[in-house]
Amino acid sequence: MLKRRAASLLPTSMALKLVVCRAETIDWHPGLRDQYKKSPNLYVKVYDRKHRILKTKVVKQKIDPSWDESCILNSPPLSTILTFCLFHDVPLVGSDVNVAKAETSVGDLLERCRSETDVWLDMEGSRGKSRGTFRLCVSLRAIAAQEVITKVAREASTLESPLPVGKVMDTIEAAQGLDSSSKLSDTLDGVLSALKNIVEVGDALAKVHPYANTAWKILTSVYNIIQHQQETDNEVVKLAEAMAQLYSFATDVESLKKHSKSFEDILLHITMQTVECAFLIQEYCGHGFLERVFQTSILGATKRIVQMTNELLRLKDAFAQGMAVQTTIVSAKILDKVENLENLELLKRLRCASSNSSSSEGCLRGTRTEVIKHIALSLTIPSERQIIWLSGVAGSGKSTIATSVSEHFRVLGRLGAQIRFSRNHGDRSDKTVILHTIASGLANTHPHIKQAICNTLAHDSHLVEAPPGTQFQELILNPLNSVKGHLVGPLIIVIDALDECAEDSRSWMIELIANSFPKLPKVFRVLVTSRPESDMTMIFSKNSAAIYQCPLSLNQENNSDISVYIHHCLKPIRDLHGLDPLWPGTDTVDQLINRSGNLFIWAATALKFVGERTAQPKKRLEAVLKMSFREDNLDQLYALALESNGDWADPEFRESTTAILSTIALAKLPMTDSAIDAMCDLQVGSTASILQHFGSVIQWNVGHPATTLHASFNDFILHPNTITPNFDSAMVKKSLVLGCFRVLQKHLRFNICNLPDSHLLNCEVPASVKAHLPDSLTYTSRFWGSHLAESDFDEEVLQLLKEFLANKFLFWLEVVSVQQEFAAVEQVLRITEQYVQVGVAWELSKLSKKSTWLTTA
């Protein structure tokens, strides 16, 4: 396999024609041997490094000689230095005189020759001896195949001995490639025109537009490069020609607008296939993510090109006949590995996040289009900065944008992995879980990646227990580097809401992104979203070469998008409550837009509050509009949403509701209403009866986990505010710990799952036994240690902890074993040791040894 640096090479087999045209003598100083000669006898020698590649004939007695002699350069590196030496032929003397020379690189000369037909080089005296002042006229250009072949044949026929066959064939093959280069450039020009028409149609083809725009951008970047310097193989030309045939329908923008809806679905399929074709052409032509020039380095590419060509022709026929098409895209990814059951079992060793789906639905169609397009293209087009950091204030729409970008690449089959941090999903902040979730996502994206990761797991069964740094190197970095030759086009990793990563993992995660992710192969592109917090800003700014900072500004585009969003949300409110179709009127909508402060979360919360099923929309809208303009308008809105539901003057209601909302905000995983009742020591059904009034800030249904709709509400409810001015964070955290021990003491008992045989392995325990574990016990068994770690030392808590260790500890081990959470036991014991006083340390020591024996038995 040929290997050369892409930055310094012309494309493989590129032939250039160098012509030495003429010279101009500005000033001639004859030497002693030239005393009878008024004019010199001049000729030129040209050197490529130390090898002479051309010697012109001698032109006698002229100060402005012309030669027009040429040679062919076959694939010279752009950095190659060409040395032009001007000689004076002195008759009857042993050696000629080197009177002047000039040097330039192939790349510089090519660049100059693009804007000028011929280029003049200023020549300097050789070895300090000036015989005059000279200028040399030369040209360098790519040439057509037939010209090269004719030249080689003509020159070969004049030689007494033939040129080496290899040299002749190399030159001819290089020239033949130039004709295909011209064909590719011309064909792509037609495809780009058609794609541009589709892009310009815009809203009429809203579903199609993002993919047409992506394909257009990729192919434009390829086209701009290959016009002057790229050759390629006939298979790629055939692929481009198939694309041109397919897009012949898109030559008329007005016709596209008129008939867009009738063929939008098939056009979506066509443009998505075009994106894959564009990725492969980009990589094949040496300007993609693989940092290579030669198409031979893309393993299995030829077969994939043929498959894509056939698929495009099939789509052309289907489109012409108005037929529906199957939604299978022929990917540029080279997929030739076979799935096997052993790999599936190996991947089960990875501890992935229990739920990695985002609650966000993504952006409303037609909103945030510019920022989504900018991010998608930045992730698509190769560059040294493979990480994009999208930062913005709370409620500015970062997560919905991340969801839309993820969906864009998921549809293309190029979403490698995603993880969304959340204060209500503490398991996602575990370092091992983070790495395993990323590794698992990448493995399920591409079979070669899966095989490489599975090979690593098979070789080292204890790798999943290794330190995080080792796991990143062995489980992610090394496997990805080993298969990068099989990867064509970008694979995207999305890390959303980094600012919500738990404190004990946060700094590690920031460092991982800043210093380790840039070591991934360039094909892997990363989108990170977060609030612009100081620790991230400081560390990410230090690695600006790899991280592109993309602040999400609250500008006029936001204002327009929020207008679209508000109008969209008002319609179901009018329908639900039977309001006038024009309600609430243009002026009122404008007021809502202005009060939003360009924050989508404000608009979303306000409209949920106004449109709740049991509400009176007109009165609630009036209450929203009566709010004063302040910087904390989102907090005002949250306070209004709470005040409007329930009797906050009633101490019992205030205490119960504050406990419920605080528990939801501090939970490590979302809890059901029954689990919250148990944790807060409330009567069964209390949580359900209260939460039904808070749909504008809490996402919940009876029997399902409850979670806040946005992290900014957590910030509001966990600090003193107009609703709970005396909020005490320490007391709330203590109440959670007490709630955990209360649940553990109540439910833990011997053989809680009613297993028929205590010798059963965990894998043999039927899933139905989990029905014996109440939701509250499932939660507290897993997270009581985490809540203990976050609370201050307290004698009441200590007493409950002692009782738990003495009476319920072994029963707890049974539950965590059934839950497959035994890995957390050691960490919980460390937390406990830090909490208890020295007087009970010996008791903890014995229990620790016993638990260690149980976990390894």
The pLDDT-based confidence of 12 (bands split at 50, 70, 90) is: very low
Question: Whole-angstrom Cα distance, residue 581 to residue 183?
Answer: 57
Residue positions counted in the chain: 857
DSSP 22: E
Question: Whole-angstrom Cα distance, residue 590 to residue 374?
Answer: 28
Q: Per-residue pLDDT tens for 790-801?
A: 998 888 998 898
Q: Is the pLDDT of residue 787 over 80?
A: yes
Question: Whole-angstrom Cα distance, residue 631 to residue 637?
Answer: 12
Confidence (pLDDT) at 317 = 77
For 300, list phi and psi in degrees, rounded to 5.
75, 15
CA 790 to chain centre: 34
Lowest mean pLDDT of 432-436, 750-754, 801-805, name the range.
750-754
Q: Is the pLDDT of residue 440 over 80?
A: yes
Q: Which of 13, 381, 82 is nearest to 229 (CA)?
A: 13
CA 777 to chain centre: 39
DSSP code string of 136-204: EEEEEEE--HHHHHHHHHHHHHH-SSPPPHHHHHHHHHHHHHHHHHHHHHHHHHHHHHHHHHHHHHGGG
Question: Whole-angstrom Cα distance, residue 368 to residue 392?
Answer: 14
Q: Is the pLDDT of residue 474 over 60?
A: yes
Task: Find out whether 279 and 227 touch, Cβ atoms under 8 Å.
Answer: no
Lowest mean pLDDT of 117-126, 417-426, 432-441, 691-700, name the range.
117-126
Question: Whole-angstrom Cα distance, residue 767 to residue 765?
Answer: 6
Any idea which residue has 């404190």 for tokens? 503
Into which CATH architecture does domain 6-142 fall? Sandwich (2.60)
Confidence (pLDDT) at 5 = 35
Question: Whole-angstrom Cα distance, residue 345 to residue 2?
Answer: 38
Confidence (pLDDT) at 381 = 86
Question: Whole-angstrom Cα distance, residue 759 to residue 658?
Answer: 45
Q: How crowded is residue 105: how many other Cβ atoms within 10 Å of its Cβ?
A: 16
Question: Whole-angstrom Cα distance, residue 246 to residue 513?
Answer: 42
Lowest mean pLDDT of 271-275, 286-290, 295-299, 428-432, name the range.
295-299
Domains of the chain, residue spans: 6-142, 168-321, 341-553, 557-626, 738-857
Q: For residue 845, give both structure tokens.
A: 């020591």
Q: Per-residue pLDDT tens for 341-365?
A: 677 788 888 888 766 554 567 888 8
Q: For residue 202, give both structure tokens.
A: 């815009």
Residue type, 374: H
Q: Is the pLDDT of residue 403 over 80?
A: yes
Q: Per-residue pLDDT tens for 527-568?
A: 999 999 999 999 999 998 999 999 988 776 778 899 999 999
Query: pTM of the entire structure?
Result: 0.70
Any idea which residue has 């608009």 for tokens? 603
Residue type, 588: T
Lowest mean pLDDT of 189-193, 428-432, 726-730, 780-784, name the range.
189-193
Pick the CATH number of 341-553 from 3.40.50.300, 3.10.290.10, 3.90.180.10, 3.20.170.30: 3.40.50.300
Residue type, 684: V
For 465, list phi and psi in degrees, rounded to 5.
-105, 0
Q: Per-residue pLDDT tens for 597-626?
A: 888 999 999 999 999 888 899 999 999 999
